[in-house]
C-alpha cells in the first residue's frame, strides 16, 4: 500500500525480489525458460487436446506460469481455489476419482498446509491426481516461514503416493506425461532447485515400473546415488572420486523418492564397499535413510549427505552447503576417509 506500481499491478507485486524503487524494475535479468513456463506450455497444449485435463492452484497461479493471459486461454480448465491448499488437494482427489486429469502445482513450503488431504483424500482413495512440487530445494525460498526443505519426509512416507525426482527438463516432462495419463497412483513430482537443466535427451524410461533406479555410469568400489537437484553434484563427485581411487565410481539416478530398488541395491554389494546418497532436503525421515536401512544388516558402508533438521532464516546457500558437507570437495574427502 502506497507504492504506485504495486497498487496498479497487485498480482505482479504479490512477491518481488530486489528492484529499483524509482522504476519498479527488477535488478536481475528476467525471462527465459524455466520450470514454470515449461509447465504452462505443456499443460495448455494438453488442455486443448484433452478437456479432462485441469490445472489447479491455491492462489499462486504463476507457480505453473499461468499469468492472466494464460489463465484466460485455459478457461474453465484452470481453477484457483484461493489460499486453501487443503481445498486444492481435496478437489484434485475428487476430479481424479471421477475420471478427470488434475495437476496441482504448489510450492514445497505450502505442502504442510494440506498434509491431511494428501493422506485422507488423495492417498487412501488412491486417486490418480498429479502434484507438482516447486522450489523443494535449498536453492528455493530462504526465509524461515518459506522453506522448501521438508517435503520429502512429509510426502515420501504416505502409503500409495509415488514421489518422483527428475534431474532435467526432459525427465520432468516425461514424468508429467506419464503421470497425467496413468490411473493407478497418486503421483507427485519434485522439481530440481537452481537453474533448469535441459540436455535434449529423449527419455524412454517406463515409469510405471516403480522404484527402478538407473545406473548412468557403471563402476566399482563406491556408488553415488544422487537424487534430483543433486544429481549434477553426484556426477562431479563421481568424476573426482574416479581420479583419486584410480577406478571408475558408479553413478545412479534413482528417479523415485518413495521406494527403493532392492534388486539394484543388492547387486551393488558384489563390487562396491561404500554407497553414498545425496539429497536436497533434510536427512531426518528423508530418502537416504531408506538406503541406510536396507544396508543396515550388511557390511556395506553408507554415508547420507543432506541437510540437518533446523529452521533456517534468510540464509546464504553456499554457507549452508558447506555447513552440511554438501560441496564436492567435502563429500569426496569424507568418502576417501572412509575408504582408508
User: Taking 90 as the threshold, does the pLDDT of residue 10 lie above it?
Assistant: no
pLDDT at 15: 81
Calculate the alpha carbon distances from 120 to 102, 116, 154, 161, 185 in Å. Answer: 17, 6, 14, 12, 14
Assess whether the region 35-190 and the region 214-339 belong to the same CATH fold: yes
User: Taking 90 as the threshold, does the pLDDT of residue 340 lie above it?
Assistant: no
Where along the chain do its domains lie?
A: 35-190, 214-339
pLDDT at 136: 97
CB 104 within 8 A of CB 130: yes
pLDDT at 337: 94
Q: C-alpha grid cell for residue 336?
A: 576417501
Region 83-102: mean pLDDT is 98
Strand ranges (DSSP E) for the chain? 53-57, 78-80, 101-107, 130-134, 142-143, 146-147, 162-164, 187-190, 214-217, 221-226, 250-253, 272-282, 301-307
pLDDT at 12: 85
pLDDT in tens, 209-267: 999 999 999 999 999 999 999 999 999 999 999 999 999 999 999 999 999 999 999 99
**What is 35-190's CATH number?**
3.40.50.970
pLDDT at 27: 87
CB 121 within 8 A of CB 102: no
pLDDT at 125: 97
CA 131 – CA 63 distance, rounded (Å)? 12
Query: Is this model's pTM higher than 0.75 or not?
Result: yes
Q: Which band of pLDDT confidence, cut at 50, 70 and 90, is reported for residue 11?
A: confident
- On average, the pLDDT of the chain sits at 96
- Is the domain spanning 214-339 CATH 3.30.565.10? The answer is no
Beta carbons within 8 Å of 61's beta carbon, 6+ residues apart: 67, 71, 78, 80
Beta carbons within 8 Å of 30's beta carbon, 6+ residues apart: none
pLDDT in tens, 114-135: 999 999 999 999 999 999 999 9
- The rounded percent of the chain whose pLDDT value lies above 70 is 99
Calculate the alpha carbon distances from 282 to 18, 22, 186, 292, 295 in Å. Answer: 28, 40, 23, 15, 20
User: Taking 80 as the threshold, does the pLDDT of residue 30 lie above it?
Assistant: no
Q: With residue 42 as reference, give the H or E element that holds it.
A: helix 35-49
Amino acid at each position: 500500500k502506497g507504492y504506485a506500481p504495486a497498487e496498479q499491478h497487485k498480482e505482479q507485486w504479490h512477491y518481488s525480489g530486489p528492484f529499483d524503487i524509482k522504476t519498479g524494475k527488477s535488478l536481475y535479468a528476467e525471462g527465459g525458460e524455466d520450470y514454470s513456463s515449461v509447465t504452462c506450455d505443456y499443460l495448455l497444449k494438453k488442455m486443448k487436446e484433452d478437456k479432462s485435463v485441469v490445472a489447479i492452484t491455491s492462489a499462486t497461479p504463476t507457480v505453473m506460469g499461468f499469468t492472466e493471459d494464460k489463465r484466460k486461454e485455459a478457461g474453465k480448465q484452470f481453477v484457483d481455489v484461493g489460499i486453501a491448499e487443503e481445498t486444492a488437494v481435496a478437489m484434485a482427489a475428487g476430479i481424479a476419482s471421477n475420471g478427470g486429469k488434475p495437476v496441482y502445482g504448489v510450492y514445497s513450503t505450502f505442502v504442510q498446509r494440506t498434509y491431511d488431504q494428501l493422506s485422507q483424500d488423495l492417498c487412501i482413495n488412491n486417486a490418480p491426481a498429479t502434484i507438482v512440487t516447486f522450489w523443494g530445494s535449498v536453492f528455493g525460498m530462504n526465509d524461515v516461514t518459506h522453506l522448501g526443505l521438508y517435503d520429502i519426509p512429509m510426502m515420501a512416507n504416505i502409503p500409495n503416493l509415488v514421489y518422483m525426482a527428475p534431474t532435467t527438463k526432459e525427465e520432468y516432462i516425461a514424468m508429467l506425461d506419464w503421470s497425467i495419463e496413468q490411473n493407478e497412483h497418486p503421483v507427485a513430482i519434485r522439481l530440481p532447485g537452481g537453474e533448469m537443466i535441459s540436455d535434449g535427451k529423449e527419455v524412454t524410461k517406463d515409469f510405471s515400473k516403480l522404484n527402478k533406479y538407473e545406473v548412468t555410469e557403471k563402476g566399482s568400489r563406491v556408488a553415488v546415488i544422487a537424487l534430483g537437484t543433486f544429481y549434477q553434484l553426484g556426477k562431479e563427485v563421481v568424476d573426482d572420486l574416479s581420479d583419486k581411487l584410480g577406478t571408475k565410481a558408479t553413478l545412479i539416478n534413482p528417479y523415485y523418492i518413495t521406494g527403493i530398488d532392492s534388486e539394484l541395491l543388492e547387486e551393488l554389494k558384489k563390487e562396491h564397499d561404500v554407497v553414498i546418497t545425496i539429497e536436497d532436503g533434510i536427512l531426518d525421515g528423508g530418502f537416504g535413510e531408506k538406503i541406510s536401512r536396507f544396508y543396515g544388516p550388511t557390511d556395506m558402508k553408507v554415508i547420507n549427505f543432506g541437510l540437518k533438521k533446523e529452521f533456517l532464516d534468510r540464509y546464504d546457500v553456499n554457507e549452508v552447503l558447506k555447513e552440511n558437507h554438501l560441496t564436492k570437495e567435502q563429500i569426496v574427502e569424507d568418502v576417501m576417509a572412509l575408504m582408508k
